[in-house]
Amino acid sequence: METAPATLGVFALGLASLLALIAWLHRMTLRLEIAQDQTTYLSLHDPLTGIANRALFESRLNEAMAYQYLAPTKVALVSIDLDGFKEVNDTLGHAAGDDLIRQVARRLAFALPEEATLARVGGDEFALVQPGMISEGQARWICEGLIRALHDPFVLGGETVEVTASFGVSLEDGREVTAAEMFRRADVALYAAKAEGRNRLKLYDPQMDASRREKRMLEIDLRNALITGAGLFVLYQPIFSARTGAIVGAEALVRWKHPQRGLLSPDKFIALAEETGIINQLGEWVLEQACRTAVESDLLWIAVNISPVQMRHQAFGSRVSDVLNKTGLPAKRLELEITEGVLLQHSPQIEITLARLQEMGIRIALDDFGTGYSSISYLRTYNIDKLKIDQSFTRLMGSDEVTRTIVQSVIQMADALGIDVTAEGVEDESQRLMLAKLGCTQLQGFLLSRPVTAEKLTELLLQQRAAA
Ligand code: C2E
Ligand code: CA
Ligand code: CA
């Protein structure tokens, strides 16, 4: 009978280890499940923000669109893109950029209706899908809530920044379009919102496709015009000495005679050229034309408008130098007109380029002065050679006392700094007199001369010489 307790002991031992084994198995299964859950979670969520990623978003979108067969409602897909995110990243660093994305995601998620899914679908791009929509107004209302959620400034490592976003909405019923088409439409609407000045929402409208197509065609035509040289030409608007009334220089202004659309002014194609990078080539072409015209005339100098896009180009300085060599125009007869926005970027690259141009002897004029920041410190830091008072000031000066005072102080400031001032948009005699009296050094405007062809400019210069 001795075996019984032993058997019992073995049995007890066996039971204990079995129980331990079961417990161990249970623990392992649980862990595996958690790990699996975590893997699933990670595969469906954005690691930075914790909100849905594109994969989860697409499946939610497909679900929402399938639901359309059951209920007569629509699905809204909203593409959201932060305005100026790149600047935050560039000035405050990537860690601040990540922090901003996290904070934005948190605020947006908080402002969402319950059935909506918010996802991060790109660096600073978010998307939202909302099923069961009954009206356009409802979609707008949701987006306006999101816009409000971003209203208060963000604090990023001690710095306070204001951030806005643009919204593109596609509101469709799942029977007619695919999920991919929903995405495309929301992006087209987003693009329109950006183009209209950002910080707004746009609903997709088929007209938007037409205007994109049209833009694309215009882009192709512009590239062709640059290759063949057909249709593009430069006009020159003389700039006069306020004291003597003589032509001292001229500003080159590009024109495009389009085969179907007729004569186009720069506001119809410069922005497009900038967006597509064509401006680098176009700007260089204008520069070369202008330098040739100057070489062949006895203009003291020629002014050429330079786009911020060109200034950002690392090789810009050497391009200009090449054009001067090629055309034989001395650097001191060239003036480049830039806008304040260029200086605001505080880009070391641009600073190097500006310094290099000035070392060469080229003068730098600040265009449209008064419409941007108009900071005196920039004039000094960058050694600007000339200010061009924007046309809007010239126009208002006669009727508005405050504008007149501003113009007067700008002229006095330029005088103190020892730099020239050109007033733009002089259209009538009273403006001319007033500006001359205030001490403005140069005048430009329709009263004195409209932009003219190179031939006409030569003629004007000859007449002037004969009269003298
Ligand atoms: P901007 O540099 O301010 O050029 C002056 C604009 O004012 C010109 O318009 C000129 O025709 C117009 N203007 C001159 N006098 C008067 C006046 O008395 N009254 C009125 N109402 N307007 C006057 P335009 O030629 O249409 O050029 C518009 C803008 O396009 C220019 O403004 C400049 O920013 C840009 N642009 C022109 N050519 C070029 C170019 O070759 N490259 C670049 N990047 N931009 C250019
Ligand atoms: Ca200009
Ligand atoms: Ca101007």
- Distance separating alpha carbons of residues 305 and 289, to the nearest angstrom: 13
Asked whether residue 345 is domain-assigned, the answer is: yes
Is there a single domain that holds both residue 244 and residue 392? yes
Nearest ligand 1 atom to alpha carbon 388: 3
Is there a single domain that holds both residue 353 and residue 291? yes
Is there a single domain that holds both residue 267 and residue 410? yes
Q: Does residue 307's CB lie within 6 angstroms of at least one atom of ligand 1?
A: yes
Q: Does residue 451's CB lie within 6 angstroms of at least one atom of ligand 1?
A: yes
User: Domain containing 238 — which CATH number?
Assistant: 3.20.20.450
429 CA to centre of ligand 3 in angstroms: 20
- Which two three-digit tokens encode residue 252? 């080159």
289 CA to centre of ligand 3 in angstroms: 20
CB 283 within 8 Å of CB 310: yes
Q: Which ligand is nearest to the CA of 282?
A: 1
The closest of 201, 179, 172, 163 to 61, measured between CA atoms, is: 179
Question: Mean pLDDT over residues 31-51, rounded?
Answer: 82
Is there a single domain that holds both residue 80 and residue 109? yes
Give the domain-ending residue among 204, 236, 263: 204
Which tens digit of pLDDT belongs to each residue from 237-294? 999 999 999 999 999 999 999 999 999 999 999 999 998 999 999 999 999 999 999 9
Is there a single domain that holds both residue 275 and residue 171? no
Q: Give the lowest-confidence range in 6-20, 351-365, 430-444.
A: 6-20
How many angstroms from the chain centroid is the CA of residue 76? 27
CB 392 within 8 Å of CB 369: no
Question: Mean pLDDT over residues 331-354, rounded?
Answer: 89
Question: Mean pLDDT over residues 30-46, rounded?
Answer: 79
Say how many domains are in the chain.
2
Give the domain-ending residue among 152, 174, 204: 204
Asked whether residue 10 is domain-assigned, the answer is: no
Is there a single domain that holds both residue 71 and residue 159? yes
For ligand 1, mutation pick of 335, 424, 447 (most atoms within 8 Å of CB): 424
Give the domain-ending residue among 137, 170, 204: 204
Which tens digit of pLDDT belongs to each residue from 292-306? 999 999 899 999 999
- Distance separating alpha carbons of residues 443 and 389, to the nearest angstrom: 10
Q: What is the pLDDT of residue 6?
A: 53
Residue where the block lists tokens 């007569």? 72
Instruction: Identify any residues that bridge with 168 across adjacent strands, giving them in sequence order.
Output: 79, 202
The residue ranking higher by pLDDT, 230 or 16, is: 230
Q: What is the pLDDT of residue 416?
A: 92
- Count of beta carbons in the 10 Å neighbourhood of residue 85: 18
Q: What is the pLDDT of residue 374?
A: 66
Question: Mean pLDDT over residues 131-135, rounded?
Answer: 89
Question: Mean pLDDT over residues 348-354, rounded?
Answer: 90
Q: What is the pLDDT of residue 3?
A: 45
The pTM (predicted TM-score) of the whole model is 0.75
Mean pLDDT of the chain: 91
Q: What is the pLDDT of residue 68?
A: 66
Q: Which domain holds residue 149?
A: 54-204
Residue 381, C-beta contacts closer than 8 angstroms, at least 6 positions apart:
343
Is there a single domain that holds both residue 137 and residue 196? yes
Which tens digit of pLDDT belongs to each residue from 78-110? 999 999 898 888 888 899 999 999 999 999 999
Which of the four pLDDT bands, split at 50, 70 and 90, describes residue 5? Answer: low
Which tens digit of pLDDT belongs to each residue from 424-464? 999 999 999 999 999 999 999 999 999 999 999 999 999 99
Q: What is the pLDDT of residue 2?
A: 43
Q: Do β-strands 201-203 and 165-172 pair in parallel, antiparallel, or remain unpaired?
A: parallel
Question: Mean pLDDT over residues 307-334, rounded?
Answer: 96
User: Domain containing 76 — which CATH number?
Assistant: 3.30.70.270
- Count of beta carbons in the 10 Å neighbourhood of residue 427: 14
Four-point Cα dihedral 272, 275, 278, 281, nearest 10: 110
Is there a single domain that holds both residue 245 and residue 282? yes
Q: Does residue 385's CB lie within 6 angstroms of at least one atom of ligand 1?
A: no
Residue of the CA atom closest to atom 38 of ligand 1: 253
Is there a single domain that holds both residue 380 and residue 438? yes
Is there a single domain that holds both residue 200 and residue 236? no
Is there a single domain that holds both residue 305 and residue 175? no
For ligand 1, mutation pick of 233, 251, 253 (most atoms within 8 Å of CB): 253
Is there a single domain that holds both residue 174 and residue 263? no
Four-point Cα dihedral 106, 111, 112, 114, nearest 10: 100
Residue of the CA atom closest to atom 17 of ligand 1: 425
